[in-house]
Each structure stands twice: as structure tokens, then as C-alpha cells.
Amino acid sequence: MPEHTLLYKSVNRPFGRALSDYAMISNGDRIIVAVSGGKDSLTLLKLLADRLTYAPIQYELFPVYVDAGFEKSFAESLMDTVKELTGLTLRVETTQFGPDAHKRKNPCFTCSRMRRKRLFEIADELNCKSIALGHNRDDWVETLLINMFYAGEISTMLPVQYFFKGRFKVIRPLAYALSSKIQQFAKEFEFPIFENPCPSSKDSRRGDLREMLEQFYRKNPKIRGNLFHAMHNVREEYLPQIKPTE
């Protein structure tokens, strides 16, 4: 394994643990890596590419960027970044998902669903069973609370999730990695900052929730870890079993 900084290891170690705990990758896998231009997806791609130099198994990576179709696209710059970072060629799928979604009631949900659907189509085309997404540990916690606040259910994203009767699986190797460490990692490796051209990018439930959580974290840093561990410590005997009628 190549020699890296302590910061690199602080992200790579939880990345490796998640891969191992959930048996995310097998020898010979062909993996779509969803690249958005953000720090999480670029970190994910770099770690997966680096791992090929020392892992006892081999797999193939196919980075894909689904361009939502807004003006001021950074697709060409992102292609250059991916090539420089990993030596891989980024596939850019240019769509009109973003503008089309903004003609509907829930544009973020609609755009996300259409982009995810296109990733599955590309995975099928390239004979890839796995799709790697860059969600981190903080995203895991935020999704739990979003579903509680807005969907009235206790659920979150899964580190490994199967779709279409097992034809595809979504893997999230950064599920144990802290967002703050990933941010430092991106800074150390001088990842460029790509401005999201979506007009709704600054106005989201997740962004609002993240601001609220940061206030709690500043007051008590243990809250971040407690929320994460609570998902693995569910005491069903202390949850109501009868669904209310109202």
C-alpha cells in the first residue's frame, strides 16, 4: 500500500472498513462511479482507483457524470479533473432533466429520480452490476432525520442496497467517513470547486437540516456520533407497536 498522510488514512480507513463490513466489492466487479463534481464523489473515485494498486482483488471503474442540463455546465473541466486524478475517462451524459424537473411540483426529487434512472440504464449498457455513490456518514444521519421529519418514518439509506430483484446493487463505501474529514481530504488534494448550476441548490431540506445539526454539534460534539450509533442500537421494545389512526 502506498505511503500517505494521516489525513488520507483518516478517510481511507473507514472507507476500507465499510467495504469489508458489507462485502461491497468482489473480484471482477464492473462498477459505475457516480461523479457529481463534489468533494464526496471525487474522494470516492480517487480512493477506489488508488485501492486498485494494492487490493488483493481486481475490479473495473466507469466514472459517469449525468449533466442535468443547466447553463454554465462544468462537464469539460470535470472530465479533465477525473483524468488528472485517476487516469480514467469520465463519461458525460448530457440531459435536460434539471430544466424539465423545474416545470413540476417537486423538482429536486424528480431530477434526482431521473438521474438515478439514467445511471441504472448506463450500468445495464456497460454490464455493470454495481453503482457506487459518494454518500458519507453525515448523509446517513441526515437522511434518517429527513425521513422522520418529512415522511413520518424511521428509515435511512443503506450501505448496500439491491434493486430490480438483485440485478443491480448500489454501494456507499464512504458510509463510515466523516464529511469534515472528506472536506479536508479534498483540500489537501486540491480538488477544484465546481459551482452547482441548479437554481434550487441553495434551497433544500437537507441544507436546512444540516445547518440545524451544526448548531447542536457545536454545543455538544458527541451528538454527531450518538446519532450515528443510534441507528445501530434500535430498542424495538421501547417503540410503540400500534399505529395511530390520526
- pLDDT tens digits, 51-97: 999 999 999 999 999 998 888 889 999 999 999 999 999 999 999 88
For 6-238, CATH gives 3.40.50.620
Q: Which amino acid makes up residue 14?
A: P
Each residue's pLDDT tens digit, 4-60: 688 999 999 999 999 999 999 999 999 999 999 999 999 999 999 999 999 999 999
Domain ranges of the chain: 6-238
